[in-house]
């Protein structure tokens, strides 16, 4: 009887339409979480575990995962890069925050490094359209350079092409390995949603 109940539950879960938006929030300890509900601040969807309800600071903001879809489609078509892959990189890099700035100086949605901002002649790296176009151009370059090997291109996007070429694959850097796995997971999600 219990198995039958689980079967019905699983069937119902398949029939429930998936929401297109994924929201990001930061808990009291500063950890970032993603959810499909802007009000579900007490659930860590990616880790599937309950969290303590954090008190949201009034200055904190959540970013919609669909806000830049039109720009992503345009850039993906221009550079012949899969839409889902571009969106996955944006999700992993900035959590859809167009004003994101890393400690290493990477800027905007696709976290472009200063050298790429100069190379791709990006005037305003915080402008979503410029950032996505530049990020797509760079991603296409990496995919071409690594003969379509997505894992290696993603590793190069994170750690730089020199390290990937030196190791002839994803380098043994924990951050890079986690980054590649995260983007692949998001890519799979956006490919079907």
Q: Which two tokens stand for residue 18?
A: 């998936």
pLDDT at 42 over 70: no
Residue 93 to residue 101: CA distance in whole angstroms: 10
Do residues 147 and 80 share a domain? yes
pLDDT at 172 over 60: yes
DSSP 83-121: HHHHHHHHHHHHTT-TT-B-TT--BTTTTB-HHHHHHTT
pLDDT at 4 over 70: no
What is the pTM (predicted TM-score) of this model?
0.70
Neighbouring CB atoms inside 10 A of 80's CB total: 10
* Per-residue pLDDT tens over the stretch 12-36: 344 434 444 555 555 555 555 555 5
Over the chain, what is the mean pLDDT?
A: 80
Do residues 128 and 174 share a domain? yes
Do residues 21 and 112 share a domain? no
Q: Please indicate whether residue 184 is annotated as part of the active site.
A: no
Domain count for the chain, please give it: 2
Do residues 139 and 171 share a domain? yes
Catalytic residue, from 60, 93, 175, 184: name it: 93
More confident: 11 or 108: 108
Do residues 104 and 153 share a domain? yes
Position 90 scores a pLDDT of 97
Do residues 142 and 79 share a domain? yes
Do residues 18 and 76 share a domain? no
DSSP 50-82: E---PPPPTT-----SSTTHHHHHHHHHHHT--
Do residues 183 and 90 share a domain? yes
Residue 53 to residue 56: CA distance in whole angstroms: 9
More confident: 62 or 95: 95
Residue 170 to residue 182: CA distance in whole angstroms: 14
Please give the residue range of the domain that contains residue 33: 2-50
Q: Which two tokens stand for residue 159?
A: 């750690």
């Amino acid at each position: 009887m219990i198995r039958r109940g689980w079967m019905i539950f699983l069937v119902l879960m398949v029939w429930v339409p998936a929401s297109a938006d994924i929201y990001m929030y930061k808990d009291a300890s500063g950890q970032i979480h993603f959810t499909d509900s802007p009000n579900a601040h007490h659930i860590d969807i990616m880790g599937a575990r309950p969290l303590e309800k954090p008190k949201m600071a009034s200055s904190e903001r959540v970013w919609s995962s669909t806000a830049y879809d039109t720009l992503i489609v345009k850039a993906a078509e221009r550079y012949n890069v899969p839409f889902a892959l571009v969106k996955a990189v944006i999700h992993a890099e900035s959590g859809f925050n167009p004003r994101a700035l890393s400690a290493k100086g990477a800027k905007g949605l696709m976290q472009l490094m200063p050298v790429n901002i100069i190379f791709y002649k990006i005037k305003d790296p915080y402008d979503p359209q410029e950032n996505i176009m530049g990020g797509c151009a760079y991603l296409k370059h990496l995919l071409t350079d690594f003969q379509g090997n997505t894992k290696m291109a993603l590793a190069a996007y994170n750690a730089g092409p020199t390290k990937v070429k030196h190791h002839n694959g994803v380098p043994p850097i924990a951050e890079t390995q986690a980054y590649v796995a995260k983007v692949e997971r998001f890519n799979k999600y956006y490919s079907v949603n």
